[in-house]
Structure formats: structure tokens, C-alpha cells
Amino acid sequence: MTLRLEGRNALITGASDDAGRAAAVRFAQEGANVFLTDRSLEAAQTVAAEVAQLGRRSAALALDVSAEDQVEKMVECAAAEMGGIDILMVADAVMHARYPGGQNPNYRLVDEPLVDWRRVMSYNLDAYFLTDRAVARAMIKAGRGGRIINYISVAALVAAPGGGDYSVSRAGAWMLTKVLALELAPHQIRVNAIAPGYLDSNMSREFYRSAPGRLEAVLRRIPLGRIGEMREIADAALFLASDESSYFTGQLLQPNGGLLIQ
């Protein structure tokens, strides 16, 4: 049986993020070689080792994805190491500037220092622009099309008091996705995004633990009555990376258990 990503080369940023790791493993299971990056070299190497155990080529690199020169070097290294880039998934982001446990209704945008705002935007928006741009240029030069997947959040669609910086950055990444989808369509480069709801992830677990009864309150809001699993996000990414989504571009997949139905 032919694997869905057989012979394809993927670049995934944010290897230490649950979504980045899950997608890397899922892509490798379907035949892709995977180049991993993260702010932590150890984290990227750990995931690269998992990919290698599946019989696929892998490599790891540490970098700051908000630094233009480092992003350009990353793309050069990935293309040289793998012989080109067919798939990009951008998953390197930060939650909030001062409250890793999640939104805090007492932390308002009108009170936020510019340095905190810029930190969130640098990783959650600037880094997406820099990475998408650099990889798109490489894909255009190669002339064989490609798939770009921006991993964002339901926060792109819902205003969250106390998490305004995160919501604005995610909404910006969603608009970036749509603009790039239009601009890159003539080159057969499809650009889509995934905006999950509540997940069983490291970042979300801090949020659930940050206040008594918070997880129970979250579950009451989700029609399916549970939080999402990372394998479900990886499967969504696989769909967008594969030929099964060949008529999808500028689209936002929303695996959220029905959170936004009402």
C-alpha cells in the first residue's frame, strides 16, 4: 500500500510543542522525511530520533524563529539536508507574556507593557511570517508546489479577555494564511491552518490547573464532552499535507469538539 507522504520532505518548527511532535511522528508513519527545529536542540533531537526509529531521514536544528537570519539559514539547511521542502508546518509559539497558566481577566491589554506585547507577536506572528515566506520562496524556486500548514488556535476566532495578546497574534496568523493562499496559488502551493480548541497538551494542562474547577468548566462548554487528543491534531495536519486535501487552500480546520457551534 502506498503511504500518503511517501518520498516527501517536511519541515516542522516547534518540535517541543505537542502538536509539532505528534505531526512529525504521523508524517513519518506515512513516509515523510522530517527536519525538526526548536528553541531547544535537545527537544528537536528527541523528536528527530523518533522519526529515525520509523525508518525515515531526520535532522534537528536549534534556532530562534523570530530572528530573520536564523530562519533563512534554517530553510537553507533543511533544503540541503533533505533535497527540498514539500511540506511546512509552523508550530512554534508562546502562550502569554506573563501568565503561563492561561488567560487572566485581571491582565488587560490596556495595562500590557509594549515589551510583553512584542514578545508574543514576535513568536506567534512574526515567526510565522518569516518561516512561511522563506519556505515559500524555496518552494517557488524548486517549482514543484508545496503545502504550508500554520498551526494556530481557536483563539484566532474568539476574543479572550485576559488573553488579548495571544488572540490578536493568532488572528493575525490566520489572516496571513489566507493572504498567502491567494498569492501562492499560482505556484501550486497550498496554504491552510489548523485552529484547535481545548487539547490534552502541555500548554493547555497549565491552563486547566491554574484555577479550581477550570477543566470541569471547559468540559461543560464542549458538546462532545471531552478535550482533544494530539493524535487528532496530527491527523488533521496529515490531511492538509497529503493529496487528499488537493482542493483545499486558504482553509481553517477547527478540531474543537463542537466548541463554536453555539
Catalytic residues: 166
**Do residues 227 and 198 lie in contact, with contact meaning Cβ atoms separated by under 8 Å?**
yes
Distance CA 240, CA 247 (A): 10
